[in-house]
Amino acid sequence: MNAVPEQPDQPADIDAALLLRWLDTATSVIEREAAHLTELDSPIGDADHGNNMRRGFLAARAALQQEPPDTPGGVLVGVGRQLISTVGGASGPLYGTLLRRTGKALGDAPAATAAELRDALKAGVDALAQLGGAVPEDKTMVDALVPALDAFTAALDAGEGTADALSATARAAGEGAAATIPLRARKGRASYLGDRSIGHQDPGATSSALLLTALADTAREASSS
């Protein structure tokens, strides 16, 4: 049986079909933006972030198209598993942990409310931060994900529906990614550069914002159809 939603007026509108559409959209966006992500990873990294993300998402989309999971948790666990097994860079295990942990927190329910997704995403971000040891302002993907979670919570507290709440989440992630520009990197390859990492946007924070924007767009399409 499903858990009874804490707020009965919230629809459980996040299901496997929606997250499979997200995977499709996210993969297209990553393909389109791969060159840009790699360009961002050039001055402060090893110029592979776009390729890493493209390889991981293409593998995930292919695997999940072959055998589509029937729960939203199953979709996220499946994508996370593919990223861990196909991406060699730091971002593979980090995103893999984020998605697997988020998916596990959703459990085997056939659908989740936005509040349930927020709680699950919080567990995922906590697991990623623990794995990488990064805190906000270290100039990593955490700088997009933590403000995104805060905005998600604020939007739900303000009574916004799933699509609006996810739009606010994606917007905050984009702002968080832009706010990495003046930061000095304290984690990952960019940290080897010290002060020379200042003035460049973090590639991982940028891809996090892209993935959340794809989710917001997918939810918006679902709510207007």
Please report, as ranges, the residues that interact with ligand ADP according to CB under 6 A: 41, 45-46, 48-49, 52, 89-91, 94, 132-134, 140-142, 187-189, 202-205
Number of residues that bind Mg ion (CB under 5 A): 6
Rounded to the nearest whole angstrom, what is the least distance from the CB of residue 199 to Mg ion in the complex?
18
What does 215 interact with, of Mg ion, ligand ADP, none (CB < 5 to 8 A by kind)?
Answer: none
Query: Using CB under 5 A, which of 16, 19, 38, 41 touches Mg ion?
Result: 41
Query: Using CB under 5 A, which of 48, 138, 143, 164 touches Mg ion?
Result: 48
d(CA 78, CA 88): 17
Residues in Cβ contact with 40 at an 8 Å cutoff, skipping those fewer than 6 apart: 49, 200, 201, 202, 203, 206
Rounded to the nearest whole angstrom, what is the least distance from the CB of residue 62 to Mg ion in the complex?
23
Q: What own/partner pairs with CB < 8 Å and gap ≥ 24 does 28-37 have?
A: 29/210, 29/211, 29/213, 29/214, 30/54, 30/57, 30/207, 30/210, 30/211, 31/57, 31/58, 33/207, 33/210, 36/206, 37/203, 37/206, 37/207
133 or 194: whose CB is closer to ligand ADP? Answer: 133
Rounded to the nearest whole angstrom, what is the least distance from the CB of residue 140 to Mg ion in the complex?
12
d(CA 105, CA 207): 22
d(CA 206, CA 186): 17
Binding to Mg ion, residues 74-103 (CB under 5 A): 89
d(CA 102, CA 143): 18
Query: Using CB under 5 A, which of 16, 45, 187, 201 touches Mg ion?
Result: 45
Rounded to the nearest whole angstrom, what is the least distance from the CB of residue 129 to ligand ADP in the complex?
7
Query: Using CB under 5 A, which of 46, 70, 157, 221 touches Mg ion?
Result: 46
CB-based closest residue to ligand ADP = 204
What does 147 interact with, of Mg ion, ligand ADP, none (CB < 5 to 8 A by kind)?
Answer: none
Rounded to the nearest whole angstrom, what is the least distance from the CB of residue 41 to Mg ion in the complex?
5
Cα radius of gyration rounded to whole Å, the chain: 17
Judged by the rule CB under 5 A, the positions of this chain that interact with Mg ion are 41, 45-46, 48-49, 89
